């Protein structure tokens, strides 16, 4: 009898703890200036700040990939462009490479598919610095075209990905910060994956057409020479594009975490025929190879500001981001 009472008390204690924890989470969510809208259409989550859109995450059923469709400054201006007519597979802010020769960047017959297996409800709270924050977690399986319509319960995958998107708002700094963290394991279709790609395959972004003419790439070494159809691929802790647009100045920067394979990102930059920026791992020069049992991550910070930021300020932001991992 005593053991039953003791077990009963333990169960009640755990239940009370869970209830209080749930209540705390609900209260934190209710008090947060960040909210989520998930009913506008299947496969889309819109995160809002004080009632205004801040980020749109798109993962439509039967689409080739999941991606950030829109990202807004605190002034209310989106800077990303989705599926332009010249490159329909350019999806605003997206991640794509080749895995065992299967192309997960382009979207043509035979291209691979990032299938969404699970999407958790966004969780709202605060960062360690006390800033409003939303966390979105999604499980994806990377499959070749032939397996794209098999039931998820037995789909043989090349890669399994847990994608964590953390959106943090710093009003004082005017910053919308999106941390894109992807944790990968080798799938059940193979024992070894070989990651390759073109020099622009990675985490890439395309910008609104109205901003293209105002786009200027900057890096810790200054402005890369992108004249006369030149492209630049250089490793830096960060690279950014500033838009000196009348009434809508903005800066969007990408920072690499020190734990990423090969260290600093190789930033692909181009301006002609349109501005583009991608954080890559140099997969065109040397593949990355992983085997069953390996776990590997990609971790980037994308920061957006409603003003033109100087290189010195962005280098300082890079130092603060990197210091989180020490």
Residue 229, pLDDT above cutoff 50? yes
C-alpha 71, offset from chain centre: 11
Residue 144, pLDDT above cutoff 70? yes
DSSP state of 196: E
Among the residues of 187-257, which ranges form H helices? 209-212
Confidence at residue 40, expressed as pLDDT on a 0 to 100 scale: 61
CB neighbour list of residue 1: distance below 8 Å, 6 or more residues apart: none
- Look at residue 295 and give its three-state secondary structure: strand
CATH annotation of 32-323: 2.70.98
Distances (CA, A) of 200 to 86, 158, 216: 17, 21, 18
Confidence at residue 134, expressed as pLDDT on a 0 to 100 scale: 98
Q: Whole-angstrom Cα distance, residue 122 to residue 2?
A: 43
Residue 177, pLDDT above cutoff 80? yes
Q: Residue 24 — very low, low, confident or very high, per pLDDT cuts 50/70/90?
A: very low
Q: Residue 22 — very low, low, confident or very high, per pLDDT cuts 50/70/90?
A: very low
Joined tokens for residue 18: 């869970």
Q: Whole-angstrom Cα distance, residue 134 to residue 254?
A: 19
Instruction: Tell me which residue of 165, 155, 162 sits closest to 118, measured CA to CA.
Output: 162
pLDDT digits (tens, 9 = 90+) for 245-301: 999 999 999 999 999 999 999 999 999 999 999 999 999 999 999 999 999 999 999
Mean per-residue pLDDT, 186-212? 97
Q: Which residue has the higher pLDDT, 221 or 2?
A: 221
Q: Residue 28 — very low, low, confident or very high, per pLDDT cuts 50/70/90?
A: very low
> What mean pLDDT is reported for the chain?
90
Mean per-residue pLDDT, 41-69? 93
Instruction: Tell me which residue of 99, 108, 151, 120 sits closest to 57, measured CA to CA.
Output: 120
pLDDT digits (tens, 9 = 90+) for 58-90: 999 889 999 999 999 999 999 999 988 888 888
Q: Where are the domains of the chain?
A: 32-323
CB neighbour list of residue 260: distance below 8 Å, 6 or more residues apart: 281, 297, 298, 299, 300
Helix (H) or strand (E) holding 320: helix 311-323
Buried b (16+ CB within 10 A) or exposed e, 45-65: bbbbbeeeebbbbbbeeebbb
pTM for this model (two decimals):
0.89
Q: Other CB atoms closer than 10 Å to residue 313's CB: what's the count?
A: 15
Give the rounded percent of residues in the chain with a pLDDT score beyond 70.
90
């Amino acid at each position: 009898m005593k053991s039953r009472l003791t077990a009963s008390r333990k169960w009640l204690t755990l239940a009370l703890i869970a209830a209080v924890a749930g209540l705390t989470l609900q209260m934190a969510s209710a008090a947060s200036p960040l909210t989520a809208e998930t009913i506008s259409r299947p496969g889309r989550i819109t995160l809002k700040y004080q009632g205004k859109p801040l980020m749109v995450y798109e993962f439509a059923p039967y689409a080739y990939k999941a991606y950030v469709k829109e990202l807004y400054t605190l002034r209310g201006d989106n800077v990303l462009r989705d599926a332009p007519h010249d490159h329909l597979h350019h999806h605003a802010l997206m991640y794509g490479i080749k895995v065992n020769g299967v192309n997960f960047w382009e979207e043509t017959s035979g291209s691979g598919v990032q299938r969404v297996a699970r999407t958790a409800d966004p969780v709202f709270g605060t960062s360690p610095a006390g800033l409003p924050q939303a966390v979105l977690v999604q499980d994806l399986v990377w499959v070749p075209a032939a397996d794209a319509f098999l039931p998820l319960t037995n789909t043989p995958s090349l890669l399994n990905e847990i994608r964590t998107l953390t959106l943090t708002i710093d009003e004082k700094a005017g910053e919308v910060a999106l941390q894109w963290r992807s944790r990968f394991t080798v799938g059940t279709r193979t024992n070894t994956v070989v990651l390759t790609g073109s020099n622009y395959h990675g985490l890439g972004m395309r910008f609104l057409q109205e901003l293209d003419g105002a786009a200027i790439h900057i890096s810790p070494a200054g402005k890369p020479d992108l004249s006369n159809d030149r492209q630049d691929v250089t490793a830096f802790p960060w690279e950014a594009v500033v838009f000196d647009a009348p009434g809508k100045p903005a800066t969007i920067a990408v920072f690499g975490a020190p734990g990423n394979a090969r260290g600093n990102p190789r930033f692909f930059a181009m301006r002609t025929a349109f501005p583009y920026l991608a954080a890559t791992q140099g997969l065109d020069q040397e593949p990355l190879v992983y085997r069953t049992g390996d776990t590997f991550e990609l971790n980037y910070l994308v920061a957006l500001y409603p003003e033109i930021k100087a290189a010195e300020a962005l280098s300082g932001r890079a130092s603060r981001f990197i210091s989180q991992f020490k």
